[in-house]
Structure formats: C-alpha cells, structure tokens
Amino acid sequence: MKTIRNRYYGQLPKIGIRPAVDGRRNGIRESLEETTMNLAKSVAAYLSEHLRHYNGEQVEFVLADTCIGGVAEAAQTAEKFAREGVGVSITVSPCWCYGSETMDMTPDIPKAVWGFNGTERPGAVYLAAVLAAHNQKGLPAFGIYGKDVQDVGDTTIPDDVKEKLLQFSKSALAVATMKGKSYLSMGSVSMGIAGSMVDAEFFQDYLGMRNEYVDSTEFIRRMDKEIYDKEEYERALSWVKENCKEGPDNNPEDMQRSREEKDRDWEISVKMALIARDLMVGNPKLLEIGYGEEALGHNAIIGGFQGQRQWTDHLPNGDFMEAILNSSFDWNGIRAPYILATENDSLNGVTMLFGHLLTNTAQVFADVRTYWSPDAVERVTGYKPEGLAENGFIHLINSGPAALDGTGELTKGGKPAMKPFWEITEEEAQKCLDATLWRPSNTGYFRGGGYSSDFLTRGKMPVTCARINLVKGLGPVLQIAEGYTVELPEQVHETLDNRTDPTWPTTWFVPNLTGEGVFKDVYSVMNSWGANHCAMSYGHIGHELITLASMLRIPVNMHNVSEEKIFRPSAWGMFGTKDQEGADYRACNAYGPLYR
C-alpha cells in the first residue's frame, strides 16, 4: 500500500463511532452492552476496509470508551472526540435509547445514526426519536435504516446499510478534510472570469476554509533569486526532456519561437511547477537555503493560477505547471495529485476538490466548449454519430491544464479508468506520458510562449461533470451531469478538433439522458450549464456529490442521479417529499452555511 506524507498542517480527520444504549440498569442496559459495542466495532471494521485519505493512509476510527446511555457519557465521548481530532460522527444502536440525552450535539461535524432494524429491541424507534431531536434542534443528521429485519445480537451489516454508511462517510470526510485549509490565489482575476473573482465569504462560511493570495510577481522573484530546490529542478528538467514529447508547432512560421526560446520556455515551465507547489504546501528544502518563511507554504489544499493575460502576454503559460501538478505522477514518481485551477477559477477548483476528496483520483479541468448535434456532425464530417454518441456530444477542451490521468491510459479490469495513485503502476503512468504531446502554445493566445498538453481521452469511461456557481441572492449552487466519454472515428475527431485548437487535450462527453427536464437531450445539458468550465471526475459519483452538498448546505440545481441513490439528512424530508429539488433549496436556505 503506497502512502505519502500528509501535506497539510493539522492531523487527518478521524471518524468517531458512538454506540448508544438504553441507559436503564438492573438488567436492561447490561443485556445490551456487548451487542451494542460489537455493532459499533463492526461499523469501524467495515469502513476501515473501504476508506482512505487522499495520501493513501487508512482512516482512523475513535470508539467511545463506553456505550452512551445518557448525557454524561455523551459529554465524555464529545470530549474524547475533540481531543482525538474526530471530524465525522456515526451513532449506532440496536435498541431504544433516550434520544436527546444520547445525541451528538457538536454543531459543525457531519452526523449519521444507524438504527438497527430489529423487533426484539427497537433500534428503529430510537432512530426516529433521535432524528426528531436533531431536526428540532437544528442539527441535521443522516438516518440509516436497513430494509430487512435482523435478529437481536446480529452484528452483520446489511448491504443497503453498508452503501449508506460508505456514502455518508466519504462525503463527511471531505467536509472534515477541507476545514481549516486554504485556497491560494496566484495572481488575480483572469480575463473577467467570474469564478476567479474569489469570494472569501463562500470559502469561510460554506467550506470552513481561509483564502491566501500572492501576486504573480512572486514567481519571478523566486526564479530570479533561485528560491527553489535546485537539485530537484535539474532532475525535473532532465525527466521532462526524457518523458515529455514535443508535438508539432501549429503557429505560422513568423510567429514560431526559436529553439532557444522553446528550451527557455521549458526551463521556466518546470520552475513554475516547483514554485507553485512550494507556494501551496511549502518545502523544507527552502529552509536549508535560507528561506524559512517561504519553506512554510500556505497550507493550500487548492490553488489557482491567473495566467492570462498579464502573465501569458509576457511569459510562458501555466499549462505544464497545472497539468503536471494535477496529475498523479511527476519526476518524483507516483503521488497524490495537487488540485490547481487554471485561470484562477476558484469555483471550478472547489468542484475539482470535491471530486478528488470523494474518489482520491485526479480531476480534469475543462471548458464546456461546444455541443455537437448529430446533424451538425454529419454536415461537417459526413459521419452520422452512433452508439453512445448518437444523440450528440459535448466537446470538453481547455488550453492544456488537464491532468494526464485524463488520457484514460490507466485501467481497471482492462478498461480505461482514473484511479487513486496507490493503484497506479509505473507502466501506466508512462502510458499516460506517451499518450500526451506537448505542443508549442498558440502564440496568438499566449504571446509569451509555453507548452500545452495535447491528448485524446479514451472512450467508454464513466465520468461525472460538475460545477459550483455563485448566484447573487441565492449563494452557491451545484450542478451535476453523469455520463460517459466517447470515441469518434479518427478522421471525424480530427475534423472537429481542428475547428477549435488541435494543440489542446480533448474529451468527447455524453451525459446520461433521462428524457425529462434538463436531461431530456444533450443540447439542454449544454445550454443549462452555469459557467464556461467544469470539473470531470472518474466514475458516477453524482450521489456522493449530492450528499456532500447537503452537508455544506449547497443546493443542487440540476442532476441526473436516480432518486433511490439520493441520500440527504433526515430534515430535508420535512421541507417536502414530492419535489426533492425544491425541498433541497428550502432546507439549505433555512439552515444556512455550515460554518456561519
């Protein structure tokens, strides 16, 4: 099992397990004590097999010292959880307990309660009572109730309960991991893009994060004064020359840069990658060369680089820096990706972070560029789309910052995939590099030169595109589109790709259609997208994103997730059961941001 050092200050969050019991002595509590504690242990054992932090470490679990039969033991457990760094709370019980006396009252920790479905000792009655207490007190909690009755003393976890425990825990760990970290703006607003108008209140109130800022000139200062690990720079540059293949230069001859300029662009691009990483998470090597302040970094779990245009009109673009940091490998080997948003689009950066923390995989940053209808494709290429692409598709493409994992050269079960770094082999990482060309940048867009990654994502990968948008008077809203990547005949791809910029990475994406609302057709999905960017994550994780959003009190304005997979706090049902989207908006508005 591969692991890496935790990059961020503070310990990784733990999950606390609270076994609740009927507090009445003289035979009642005593008969339940062992069963209740064993149920809690079985939850910890199951989740420990299926949960990992971003760096590969196993998630730790903190068990209450005793079963919780009343307020005294609830308080003792709360004190232990605070001391141990618990960021997620799960209460389990096979029996009736005193709801308001045993509940977890910590306000900003995500909570779930599993009430055992049994007839001898009604854990389901406790579940209903304690959820009512949570709702009445304004402390939303997730209720977990198995479909099938179990026998008393049975500590096995039914499959439907496992699904909800895992869905809750992944999302809750994401909430706890973000808390206290930073978003680092490197530069400011890029080309009037609203997402790069960083909203500090959103980060503070909804995510529990702080905002840090450095000017683009900090990159120049660190390059001029050589504030980076020079040994690593030489090693990185050598690795780049060996593994990053240059592609054709599409610029007109009079706008092409000389070989000397291109070599200098590579040197600057590699230095930019080192500097951006050091700005985000620090580097002890900088202390050794006399830069103690710089060695600390900004504790940034996400960063954004403005780039255009103040930087790129004069210096090489940030595409290599962004692409390689967002990938799961570089000159230091296979490692967890860093999350870095191009054009300082903080809202897309946050969406990328959501996907990363839920899956532990790299994320693809892309423009939602073009909807190609079947008729338009046939008119331009003579080819009528078929299969997954028969209803048209969306061209996801940006100037080259997408993670190289997005090539689809990683595999699961022999199929294209993206996966956690600890599952990636050296051979797979090399395949991603081999499938990528580094094209001299379009000097019309990027006057300062640089390189853009150019690859084509392999087809038939299940993926989820998502985006957070800020709306005045409403706040943040999340949109989600599950679907698949598709492959087109080579000549069709080239014809369509050449109409945009063939030097950039391309993903052809088809959302899953439901026949209703926004997802009645592909055009409506494109037409309803709330911004120019999206984050693409491997797998169909829309249900997990919905659960995460509800914890943060962010409503979801469009999605194509089946109703039976949606899991929100119990209180959401009190805001309406017929119209779940409307209920979500009302609940998020009533509760307000998690940290306000």
Give me the catalytic one of 343, 405, 409, 501.
343
β-bridge pairing 142-144 and 393-397: unpaired
Q: Which residues pair with 537 in a beta bridge?
A: 464
Q: Is 134 annotated as a binding residue?
A: no
**Overall residue count recorded for the chain in this entry:** 596
Please give the single-letter amino acid code of residue 445: Y
Distance of CA 11 to the CA centre of its chain: 19
Please check whether residue 443 is in contact with residue 255, taking contact to mean a CB–CB distance below 8 angstroms.
Answer: yes
Q: Which residues pair with 63 in a beta bridge?
A: 17
Residue 134's Cβ-count burial label (10 Å; 0-12, 13-18, 19+) is buried
205 as an active site residue: the answer is no
> Within 10 A of 433 (CB to CB), how many other CB atoms are there?
21
Please check whether residue 37 is in contact with residue 18, taking contact to mean a CB–CB distance below 8 angstroms.
Answer: no
Q: Is 343 annotated as a binding residue?
A: yes
In the three-class reduction of DSSP (H, G, I as helix; E, B as strand; rest coil), residue 135 is classed as helix
Q: What is the DSSP-derived secondary structure letter of residue 360? A: -
Give me the catalytic one of 367, 428, 482, 487.
367
- Long-range CB contacts (< 8 A, 24+ apart) of 103-109? 103/74, 103/130, 103/133, 103/134, 103/139, 103/141, 104/18, 104/74, 104/78, 104/139, 104/141, 105/74, 105/78, 105/137, 105/139, 106/78, 106/81, 106/82, 107/139, 108/179, 108/208, 108/594, 108/595, 109/176
Q: Which residues pair with 314 in a beta bridge?
A: none
C-alpha dist (Å) from residue 236 to 115, 429, 431: 54, 16, 18
367 as an active site residue: the answer is yes
Measured between alpha carbons, how far is 202 from 488 in angstroms, rounded to an integer?
Answer: 40
Cβ density class 348-370: b for 16+ within 10 Å, e for less:
bbbbbbbbbbbbbbbbbbbbbbe
Measured between alpha carbons, how far is 399 from 319 in angstroms, rounded to an integer?
Answer: 7
C-alpha dist (Å) from residue 121 to 124, 125, 127, 240: 9, 9, 12, 64
Closest CA to 10 of 87, 121, 76, 70: 87
Q: Is 367 annotated as a binding residue?
A: yes
Token pair of 250 as six digits: 């599409």
Measured between alpha carbons, how far is 594 from 178 in angstroms, rounded to an integer?
Answer: 12
- In sequence order, which residues have a C-beta less than 8 Å from that of residue 122 and are 6 or more positions away? 95, 96
- In sequence order, which residues have a C-beta less than 8 Å from that of residue 486 and are 6 or more positions away? 387, 388, 389, 393, 459, 460, 508, 509, 510
Please check whether residue 205 is in contact with residue 216, taking contact to mean a CB–CB distance below 8 angstroms.
Answer: no
Which residues participate in the annotated binding site?
343, 367, 533
Question: Which residue numbers are catalytic?
Answer: 343, 367
